[in-house]
Amino acid sequence: MNQFQYVRVTTPKAAVAAVTKENNSLFLAGGTNLIDLMKRNVMSPEKLVDINKLPLNTIEKTATGLRIGALAKNTAVAEHELVRKSFPLLSMALNAGASPQLRNMATVGGNMMQRTRCGYFYDTAMPCNKREPGSGCGAIGGYNRMHAIFGTESSDRSSKCIAVHPSDMCIALVALDATVLVSGSKGERRIPFIDFHRLPGDAPEKDNTLQKGELIMAVDLPNNPFADHSHYLKVRDRASYAFALVSVGAALNLKGNTIQEARLAMGGVSHKPWRLTEVEQFLRGKPATEATFRQAADVAMKGAKGYGENDFKLTMAPNTLIDALKTAAKNA
Amino acid sequence: MPDPKLMKNDEKSPAINRVDGRLKVTGGAKYFAEFEIPGTTYCVLVTSTIARGSIASMETKKAEGAPGVLAVFTNLNLPKIPGLNTPEGNNAKKPSGGETYQMLTDKKILFAGQPIAMVIADTLERAQYAATLVKTTYSKQPHQTDLEKHKAKGVMPQGERNADYKRGNPDTYKTAPVVLEASYTLPIEVHNPMELHGILVNWTADDQVMIYAKTQGVQMTQKAVAKAFKLDEKNVHVHTEFMGGGFGMGLKTWPQEIAVVAAAKKLRKPVKLVVSRDQMFTMVGHRPYTTQTISMGADKAGKLVGIVHEATAETASYEDFTESTVGMTKFIYDCPNVSTTYRIVPLDRGVPIWMRGPGEATGAFALESAMDEMAAKLNLDPIEFRLRNYAETDPEKNRPFSSKHLKEAYQLGADKIGWSKRKNEPGALRDGEWLIGYGMSSGTFNASRGQASAKVILNQDGSLVIQSAVTDIGPGTGTAMVSIAHDVLGIPVGRIKFEMGDTTLPKAPTQGGSTITSTVGSAVYDTCTALKTSLAALAIAQGNSPFMGSKAEDLVFEDGMIQLKGDRKKKLPVGDVLKANNLPTLDRALDSKGGPEQETYSMYSFSVHFAEVRVNPVTGVVRVSNAVSVADSGRIVSPKTAASQMIGGVTGGIGMALTEEAVLDHRFGRLVNNNLADYHVPVSADVPHIDTIFIDKPDPYINPMGAKGMGEIALIGFAAAVANAVYNATGQRIRDLPITPDKVIKRVA
Amino acid sequence: MTNQDNNEEQAENSGSSRRGFLKQSAALGAFAMTPPSAMKAVDTGLHEKIATAFEQMPLQVEINGTLQRLKIEPRVTLLDLLREQLNLTGTKKGCDLGQCGACTVHVDGQRVNACLTLAMTTEGCKVTTIEGLAPAGPDGPLHPMQEAFIKHDGFQCGYCTPGQIMSAVACIREGHADNPDEIREYMSGNICRCGAYSNIVDAIMDVKKGGQKV
């Protein structure tokens, strides 16, 4: 790890100022991915601005829902009574991620800022457009078992990237219509969660739409009617402590057996948490039956594309979606 | 011939707690990297990014000038190691791949991840950073890392053990009423002990060095270093009391260890190397990628007519690695026509090394899967099929087994797992969405007794010290040795101390191949018996002896006392015998080895594994929901640690069956999942409650305890049990491990 | 440079490091900690020892009940601080990347991976390692979880054991040890290559059922 400048700040304003001013400076929160990346020489910031002392870890009810401070630890969110009761999908997704130790360290903001776990991104001896734009995508034609099946179209082949976003938490947040509150040198702004992460397009080095120096302050969740019918289903190579091959966050509002409203997102399939808006529309007003869910899966898989080793996801993803919907429909 | 009656065979050994337990649960146990030597410097290795070629240039100036850096060693400036590349050096035999390799001696690159520079600095952080400043350019050559593509280049390795084997007419299977031909693939697996590999070296004089190593044999490391640096062996002091797992990766002295010894000599400072986890995947061996074909014929009655077992495995271009992948097929079943072939293919990869269960585990996966496939073709219960081909005597060597209780093991295991619930028809059992299946497999591994020395010292306070250079990579060697001494001398286990893992102690073999309890245990047994004989003589002869006129065989050693068999009130504390005879201590040291019985009998440990699996046909997920392993490994010397070894083998077997695979990108010759997040060692959630059962009957011939080994059989065969259970659950046969959700979903969904 | 100097700057920025930074702006307010003479030394090519001094930062952290006043490079992880500087080698390095749990310690009562924790971020925290788990110290009576690991043989080589035990204690304190399946899930952040899981689960269940204070 390179020697870096370490600054501890106690106000968001100072944090934003410290990062905005310098080219290669980053916020340090839980560090569970950043320190890892620095150890592997994938990222070498010259300055780390430690934001852990900022007062941004509260979880509180708001007029329209719930506000979760960016520095709330993953464990604290997952176990918070309000989250468990009113946003169980988020609790389930968080508990499906990483390990208890990592969840004790990782923050909500940091979880959103996680970078891909693609092996080519981490091995500086191999090509990776995300790590080194223009160097090529090692995963295309290589080991792409973990990789994306959605949203990989790119205008320029040399900038191609089929990496996936690794977060579980973000699948729940994108499904539940969260908004991200960020603060920058020009003040605060709100970003719909669905627009926070981006597809690789022609700039796979950019994971999200944050501007230089912008600090995630909080995530807002609107109240929802899905608490009784939520399910997060994660398929992985190990029973625990493994990234998703495919995961599905499903939330339903049922009236009798009729779907009033649905919220759906998939993980392990795209460069960003993959919200299934079209499927949600399809499900509205339909009976919560396996037949409906199978049709929904067909809608969900439109445009999916395998890269060889990840072709199995073309089967696993719809299967997992159907299974998650079935379980969500049963929950109460 | 040893007389097992010497042991109290009618009784089971007590289930004593691990003797080093307190040190291990308090953090007090010191592993190699944890010895504090003032002035220790830190070594970080820079490795090759390409898989074959040579170094064109290396820029080390920036690293050398970085804060705290003491030296950067490359092939250009590492001091010559006097004993390397000599006729008696490590590369005495020319390998099949034709290359030679010693670290930092030339420009050649023979595998990706090969160490090409050592950066040494005053702190770990500075060494790590400076290592990133070394810049290398290469002259690349095309590399070969894909065994599947280069199978045709397989060669028969040297050595009798690796020769083609033939019994009867191997082609007979082809005309049998029921024929099976199937190919099986085992990927690269990596030992990945939790402790990282490395070495801590401190030259205490120009010709004297103290080494803390991660080695499965301190005397092996001692010999290697003494040879490399042309030192007197007694001037090379190696200490490894605790080793954080080995599983085989510590069975040799690796080139980087020798290089660090050289660097420390040059710098005249203590140097510590702890490799990184990704380096654990490339420079300390692995289980080789192996493909196998089993061809098998049987008659309608379920009697095997012929088996042909062919295996091809990777090795390095610079070293031939071989293991006994096809060995089990020669003797485990009674079959008149058997042939085996074993080939190795030199690739541009680091050399493999034996990994727990080694080749036998690889071979058992293929053979025991094939047995299950054949049983299915015959519509026979897999246990019944095995019983119809049970080998009462060793068909390979035409001689009796020293002991074999496999039939009993089948029965005990079947009862425990609830085998009667199993349906021979696949896919018949379901729990909601989940399919349920049962599978079983046998395992076997050579049992032997080698040569070792031990010393025992009795003190006046009745405490006993046992000494042996043997290391303990985890199975509980110290606990077993204390248990044996306790059995012989009746001294309470809490009063016995086992000193180990140091070259100043009596000679012991390297820990591996399930031989230590048999070999070192026998030495401890013999030594304690000699001490007992002396004690008895002294006790009878001493003034005012309560045993006046008795014979040695009339004395009983129990609870730290010597007692008269017929009149237990007549007794003496063992320490009092020393006091009465004016002896501060009484010690015995012996060299001990097996006798001719090893040539008269075939000695093997056996195991039977049972797995219950749940398969989700929608997601492809497989879970082992119940596991039973039965070991026929002779008398169990230390039941508690033995049971742990068994559950450990099952856990390793779950990894082999379901999760573990190191993946190469052959375009680069590099591994793409060289870390513990992407290479999936099973976690707690993958492992169910495991039942272990011991036959616990002494082998009458192998050694005085009657104990056969069990470290390997704990794993050998388990993966086949899981694969067979997956078949039973789904009707799908997955022949390439690991059985990950993607493979299941492709077949089942 | 003392810790007191540092504390005075707590309001906005409570620490900073590195030669590069010394040359940079005073805008962040951490400037008072940097004497002008040092600035000059940086510019004119600093003697190594002085450079070292200024690459190090003060850290106060309570480890196993003892307040440590340290000076460290900011890139030093809690794990390397414990093992290489404080000789608290009970905490193990298994992967150094948060992928195995061997380095599990408690920071302010929470189990974390010391390998991904920059030591600087533990300023003012209470750290407990395996050496500090038993209240009476390493030679006194063992913590009930340590006893249970011995009783159930919850280890073999012993290398992952301190991390397993620290995690196991936390698992009970967090309320995640109600049944074997829950324990398996909440102990999955600690890899044991020897494969002692089944015994570890038994040990934790035993302590949980025993109801002793952990």
Q: For residue B12, what pLDDT is reported?
A: 67
Pairing of strands B337-347, B304-316: parallel
Region B703-717 average pLDDT: 96
How confident is the prediction for chain C on average, in pLDDT?
83
Q: What percent of chain B has pLDDT over 70?
A: 97
C153 φ/ψ sector (left φ>0, alpha ψ -120 to 50, else beta) = left
- What residues of A are in contact with residue C180 (Cβ under 8 Å)? none
| pLDDT band, residue C35 (cuts 50/70/90) | very low
Cβ-defined contact of B647 to C142 (cutoff 8 Å): no
Cβ-defined contact of B670 to A123 (cutoff 8 Å): yes
Region B298-311 average pLDDT: 98
Cβ of residue C147 closer than 8 Å to a chain A Cβ = no
The CATH code for residues A230-330 is: 3.30.390.50
In angstroms, the CA B319 to CA A71 distance is 53
Tens digits of per-residue pLDDT, B164-217?
999 999 899 999 999 999 999 999 999 999 999 999 999 999 999 999 999 999
Count of pairs with CB atoms under 8 A, one residue in A, one in C: 132
CATH 1.10.150.120 domain residues, chain C: 144-210
- What residues of B are in contact with residue A43 (Cβ under 8 Å)? none
Q: For residue B513, what pLDDT is reported?
A: 86
CATH 3.10.20.30 domain residues, chain C: 57-132
Please list the helix, strand and coil fractions of chain B in percent, rounded to the nearest 5, in that order.
Answer: 30, 25, 45
Q: Is CATH 3.30.365.10 the classification given to domain B290-448+599-748?
A: yes
Q: Mention every residue, 6+ apart, whose C-beta is less than 8 A from residue B442.
A: B332, B364, B368, B386, B406, B606, B607, B608, B609, B717
Chain C CA closest to residue B278:
C95
The CATH code for residues B450-593 is: 3.30.365.10
- Both tokens assigned to B40: 């220790």
Q: For residue C3, what pLDDT is reported?
A: 38
**A263/chain C closest Cα distance in angstroms:** 27
B719 φ/ψ sector (left φ>0, alpha ψ -120 to 50, else beta) = alpha
Q: For residue C42, what pLDDT is reported?
A: 41
CB B341 within 8 A of CB B163: no
Q: How many CB atoms lie within 10 A of CB A259?
A: 25
| pLDDT band, residue B657 (cuts 50/70/90) | very high
Please say if the pLDDT value at position B417 is more than 50.
Answer: yes
Sorted by where each begins, the domain ranges of chain A are: 230-330
Between the CA of residue B368 and those of A83, B155, B239, B309, B718, what are the distances in Å? 50, 25, 41, 12, 9
| pLDDT band, residue A157 (cuts 50/70/90) | confident
Tens digits of per-residue pLDDT, B349-392?
999 999 999 999 999 999 999 999 999 999 999 999 999 999 99
- What residues of C are in contact with residue A237 (Cβ under 8 Å)? none
CB B512 within 8 A of CB B526: no
How confident is the prediction for chain A on average, in pLDDT?
97
Judged by DSSP in three states, C132 sits in: helix
- What residues of C are in contact with residue A7 (Cβ under 8 Å)? 13, 15-16, 21, 28, 30
- Both tokens assigned to C12: 């906005």
User: In a mutagenesis test of the C interface, which of A6, A111, A243 is the best target, namely the one with the most C β-carbons within 10 Å?
Assistant: A6
Count of pairs with CB atoms under 8 A, one residue in A, one in B: 93
Tens digits of per-residue pLDDT, B477-516?
999 999 999 999 999 999 999 999 999 999 999 988 889 9
Region A141-161 average pLDDT: 89
Which residues, listed in sequence order, are joined to residue B608 by a DSSP beta bridge?
Answer: B442, B630
Q: Mention every residue, 6+ apart, whose C-beta is less than 8 A from residue B487.
A: B7, B8, B13, B637, B705
Q: For residue C4, what pLDDT is reported?
A: 38
Q: For residue B481, what pLDDT is reported?
A: 97
Cβ-defined contact of B665 to A143 (cutoff 8 Å): yes
Between the CA of residue B346 and those of A93, A310, B97, B156, B320, what are the distances in Å? 46, 30, 5, 11, 8
Tens digits of per-residue pLDDT, B638-653?
999 999 999 999 999 9
Sorted by where each begins, the domain ranges of chain B are: 32-142+196-243+250-280, 290-448+599-748, 450-593
Q: Mention every residue, 6+ apart, whose C-beta is less than 8 A from residue A33.
A: A110, A113, A114, A115
Please say if the pLDDT value at position B1 is more than 50.
Answer: no
Strands ordered across the beta sheet of B290-298: B165-167, B337-347, B304-316, B290-298, B178-186
Region B561-588 average pLDDT: 96
| pLDDT band, residue A10 (cuts 50/70/90) | very high
- What residues of C are in contact with residue A6 (Cβ under 8 Å)? 15-18, 57, 74, 118, 120
Cβ-defined contact of B25 to C142 (cutoff 8 Å): yes
| pLDDT band, residue A23 (cuts 50/70/90) | confident
| pLDDT band, residue B6 (cuts 50/70/90) | very low
B209 phi/psi in degrees, rounded to 5: -135, 140
Please say if the pLDDT value at position A136 is more than 50.
Answer: yes
Q: For residue B749, what pLDDT is reported?
A: 66
**B131/chain C closest Cα distance in angstroms:** 15
- What residues of B are in contact with residue C158 (Cβ under 8 Å)? 20, 23-25, 29, 242, 244, 474
Strands ordered across the beta sheet of B41-47: B69-73, B115-121, B41-47, B271-274, B198-205, B208-213, B236-239
- Residue where the block lists tokens 């430690």: A50
- What residues of A are in contact with residue B742 (Cβ under 8 Å)? 145, 245, 312, 316
Chain A CA closest to residue C28:
A18
Cβ-defined contact of B244 to C197 (cutoff 8 Å): no
- Positions of B annotated as catalytic residues are 712
Tens digits of per-residue pLDDT, A254-295?
999 999 999 999 999 999 999 999 999 999 999 999 999 999
**Of A240, A241, A245, Cβ closest to residue B742:** A245
Q: What is the helix (H) or strand (E) element at residue C79, kind and residue range?
A: helix C78-80
Please say if the pLDDT value at position C135 is more than 90.
Answer: no
Positive or negative: CA dihedral C104, C107, C112, C116: negative
Region B50-79 average pLDDT: 97
Cβ-defined contact of C130 to B26 (cutoff 8 Å): yes
Judged by DSSP in three states, B139 sits in: strand
Tens digits of per-residue pLDDT, B711-738?
999 999 999 999 999 999 999 999 999 9
Cβ-defined contact of A142 to B667 (cutoff 8 Å): yes
Which carries the bigger pLDDT value, residue B102 or residue C198?
C198
Which carries the bigger pLDDT value, residue C135 or residue B441?
B441
Which carries the bigger pLDDT value, residue C112 or residue B85?
C112
Q: What percent of chain A has pLDDT over 90?
A: 96
CB A293 within 8 A of CB A279: no
CB B271 within 8 A of CB B120: yes
Please say if the pLDDT value at position B588 is more than 50.
Answer: yes
**B666/chain A closest Cα distance in angstroms:** 8
Please say if the pLDDT value at position C210 is more than 80.
Answer: yes
The total number of residues written for chain C in this structure: 214
Q: How many CB atoms lie within 10 A of CB B48?
A: 25
Alpha helix ranges (H) inside B174-254: 218-228
- What residues of A are in contact with residue B188 (Cβ under 8 Å)? none
Burial C123-150 (b: 16+ CB within 10 A, else e): bebbbbbbbbbbeeebeeebbbbbbbbb
Q: What is the helix (H) or strand (E) element at residue C20, kind and residue range?
A: helix C19-22
Please say if the pLDDT value at position C153 is more than 90.
Answer: yes
The CATH code for residues B32-142+196-243+250-280 is: 3.90.1170.50
Q: For residue B94, what pLDDT is reported?
A: 84
Q: For residue B14, what pLDDT is reported?
A: 76
**Of A1, A6, A39, Cβ closest to residue C97:** A39
Cis peptide before B741 (omega within 30 of 0): no
How confident is the prediction for chain B on average, in pLDDT?
95
| pLDDT band, residue C118 (cuts 50/70/90) | very high
Region A223-227 average pLDDT: 98
Tens digits of per-residue pLDDT, C38-63?
444 444 445 555 556 568 999 999 99
Please say if the pLDDT value at position B4 is more than 60.
Answer: no
**Of C48, C97, C149, Cβ closest to residue B25:** C149
User: ipTM score of the complex?
Assistant: 0.97
Partner chains of A (3+ C-beta pairs under 8 Å): B, C
Q: For residue B646, what pLDDT is reported?
A: 98
Cβ-defined contact of B677 to A2 (cutoff 8 Å): no
Q: For residue A17, what pLDDT is reported?
A: 96
**Of A2, A119, A322, Cβ closest to residue B673:** A119
In angstroms, the CA A30 to CA A32 distance is 6
Name the architecture of domain C57-132.
Roll (3.10)
Cβ-defined contact of B686 to A320 (cutoff 8 Å): no
**Of B28, B33, B684, Cβ closest to residue C184:** B684
Cβ-defined contact of B245 to C157 (cutoff 8 Å): yes
Name the architecture of domain C144-210.
Orthogonal Bundle (1.10)
